Amino acid sequence: MEQQLLREDALLRGHFRLSSGLHSDTYVQCARFLRWPELAAPAAAELARQIKAAGLAPDLVVGPAMGGVVMGYELARQLGVPGIFTERDENGQMSLRRGFTIEPGQQIIIAEDVVTTGKSTNEVARLLTELGGKVLAVASLIDRTSGNAALNFPNFALLPVTAATYAPDDCPLCRAGVPVVKPGSRPEKAFS
């Protein structure tokens, strides 16, 4: 899978500002990979296989917008269950909109493209739990935490990616004068 990500310019090396505000030497742009159904379908099929092999039987897949929408849809299709997504409201909080609901006791898989710190995954999990759902696991293409995300449920990932991260005021890439790039979907104002 790593070679496919590299071919699609979905796995980048350089100096990047992440959505968290941290700097990193590695950036994963899964949208470039997921744009190809012939790549997305087998990746989601492998995650579905791992989920089933673990004895998990979800009722629903929830993909946080934006990165988890395509992954969530394809994983839901592979598992034969509905797929919905969360998105940020006007206050920046993850929420269910568009008439999506969670039924009490519903067994849920959270689908992500990349788990970077686990912060947004945990935010979605809290929302789903508050609405009466039960989060069984998160499934992602990439795990940037090397298995160290602070999650209270299993983390299925197809590719662990080890990447250095730095506080902006202690970044060796900044000190070396390497220009920082802000890829991704969140605008610059998210960092102020």
Residues in CB range of 100: below 8 A, 6 or more apart: 84, 85
pLDDT of residue 190: 42
Q: How confident is the model at residue 165 (pLDDT cuts 50, 70, 90)?
A: confident
Determine whether the annotation assigns residue 170 to a binding site: no
Determine whether the annotation assigns residue 67 to a binding site: no
pLDDT > 60? residue 91? yes
pLDDT of residue 191: 42
In the numeric block, which tokens belong to residue 19?
């959505």
Determine whether the annotation assigns residue 9 to a binding site: no
pLDDT > 80? residue 42? yes
The residues facing 86 across adjacent strands are 64
Determine whether the annotation assigns residue 59 to a binding site: no
Strand-strand pairing, 60-64 and 83-88: parallel
Comparing 17 with 148, the larger pLDDT belongs to: 17
In the numeric block, which tokens belong to residue 150?
């602070």
41 — phi, psi (to 5°)? -60, -50
Q: How confident is the model at residue 161 (pLDDT cuts 50, 70, 90)?
A: confident
Portion of the chain with pLDDT greater than 90, in percent:
64
Q: How confident is the model at residue 184 (pLDDT cuts 50, 70, 90)?
A: low
Determine whether the annotation assigns residue 52 to a binding site: no
Determine whether the annotation assigns residue 99 to a binding site: no
pLDDT > 90? residue 127? yes
pLDDT > 90? residue 123? yes
CA distance 6 to 127: 34
C-alpha closest to that of 70 among 85, 87, 59: 85
The stretch 20-34 carries a mean pLDDT of 88
Determine whether the annotation assigns residue 115 to a binding site: yes
Determine whether the annotation assigns residue 7 to a binding site: no
Distances (CA, A) of 9 to 2, 5, 21: 11, 6, 22
Residues in CB range of 16: below 8 A, 6 or more apart: 23, 24, 25, 26, 27, 180, 181, 182, 183
Residue-range domains of the chain with CATH: 37-163 (3.40.50.2020)
105 — phi, psi (to 5°)? 80, 0
Determine whether the annotation assigns residue 95 to a binding site: no
